Amino acid sequence: WAVNNPITPEDWAATKDRLMDVYESLVQTQNTVTELSTRIQGLETASASLDARSDEADVALAALSESAAALQEALLKIDGVLHGEFAERHASIDDSLSKISERISSSEGAA
């Protein structure tokens, strides 16, 4: 077959052109793969950063939740003092003032 179909210089040139096209395509593919690899590494870095921030946000949220619970407990204590102890003291003061007023009235009537 090779004897009956010799390779001509045009065939060699066409083969060379085709091989150059394949080579250029491979170089383009390699560049694309390199670019995609760089982008993937960037995304992995961003993902790790977001994971770290998410963990930090979880810790901060837990701390806020604990602070809110502590504030709620403190407000309940203040409410208890205002409605319990202060109310009792207020009633006691009112009672004392009433007794003083009665004594003043009694002593004015006796005088």
Cα angle value 92/96/97 (rounded, 5°): 115
Q: Which is nearest to 15 in space by CA: 5, 4, 24, 7?
A: 7
> Mean pLDDT in the chain?
90
Residue 110 has pLDDT above 80, yes or no: no
In terms of pLDDT, which residue wins out, 22 or 93?
22
Rounded to whole angstroms, the Cα distance separating 102 from 108 reads 10
Share of the chain above pLDDT 90, in %: 59
The pLDDT tens digits of the residues spanning 16-52 come to 999 999 999 999 999 999 999 999 999 999 999 999 9
The average pLDDT across 84-88 equals 76
Give the pLDDT of residue 65.
94
In this prediction, residues 42-66 reach a mean pLDDT of: 95
State how far Cα 84 lies from the chain centre.
41
User: pTM here?
Assistant: 0.50
**pLDDT confidence of residue 66:** 95
Rounded distance between C-alpha atoms, residue 4 and residue 71, angstroms: 98
